[in-house]
Amino acid sequence: MPAVGVVAPGAMGIALGRCLAAGGHRVLMTAAGRSAATARRLADAGIDDAGSTDDVVGGAAVVLSVVPPARARTLAADIADSARRTGTHPLVVEANAVAPATVAEAAQTVRAADLDLVDAAISGPPPRPDAEHPTRIFLAGARSAEVAALEVPGVRWVGLDAEPGAASAAKMCTASVRKGHQALLVHALLTAEHHGVLDTVLADLRLDFPHDDVAHGAAAATKAWRFVDEMDEIATTQADAGLTPDLFAAMAEVYRRLATSGWGARRPEDVPGDLTSTEGLRPHRP
């Protein structure tokens, strides 16, 4: 089994690391430069801290880049620099929620360090080894088969037989529907509460969208800080297709405001399933 490095140890990265370990892979991750809480989560997942990014890149055959979209370009440069320092050539898997144009930039950056890149796009929640429905990960690029060969319980690889950028394009399209829907829901609920018709709106929405409720909107708010940049990446992807970027520039503003709300500073597991008040979804005003 090839050793696999995962940079960096956020919720998605740690979940992938746990699944890789369950598949028998040696998993290399590090909490260097991260918070004590991140280090604890890494330990709770049963993954030893490799020590540094150089240790992760230098010791792995495959390195997954899993960070918020705004950090994708910087991390590609960090991986390339680590590969030069360690004299190694791992296969880089660009697994961030970014536009195809961003993937092309990352590919150019790592190619300068004589590294190959596979475009990967995660569609679904953080994976679990015992999940009934595996998280899908789209793959595109000449060496996609090497990634698809990794044994990872809880993940279903979906090869697209296409050039890098295609997997991320698919992700941008599906994310635009899922996260765009969440943003529309929150706006509708806040508007409904303002006009005193929240219960009526929720009851009517549940006829067609049985899972739409205040808790669903609050859970979206807890992740809003990283969705802002993802909305910008979606806007770029749509603009490259000749469509207006204005729709998802506005969605980015919705999530920017949600990130400053009461729920924006919490974690998804903090949201009670029976939440009924939208007060915590309103942005803090200066």
Average pLDDT across the chain, whole number: 96
Residue closest to 88 by CA, chosen among 64, 65, 57, 67: 57
Q: Which residue has the higher pLDDT, 72 or 9?
A: 72
Strands (E), the chain: 4-7, 27-28, 62-65, 91-94, 117-123, 135-140, 155-159
Cα distance between residue 175 and residue 234, in whole Å: 8
Q: What is the mean pLDDT of residues 5-32?
A: 95
Does residue 115 contact residue 58 with C-beta atoms inside 8 Å?
no
With a cut of 90, say whether residue 263 has pLDDT above it. yes
Q: What is the mean pLDDT of residues 230-251?
A: 98
Q: Architecture of 168-281 per CATH?
A: Orthogonal Bundle (1.10)
pLDDT on residue 35: 86
Domain edges within the chain: 4-162, 168-281
pLDDT on residue 36: 87
Tell me the β-bridge partners of 65.
Answer: 7, 94
Q: Architecture of 4-162 per CATH?
A: 3-Layer(aba) Sandwich (3.40)
pLDDT on residue 285: 62
b/e per residue 184-198 (b: at least 16 CB within 10 A): ebbbbbbebbeeeeb
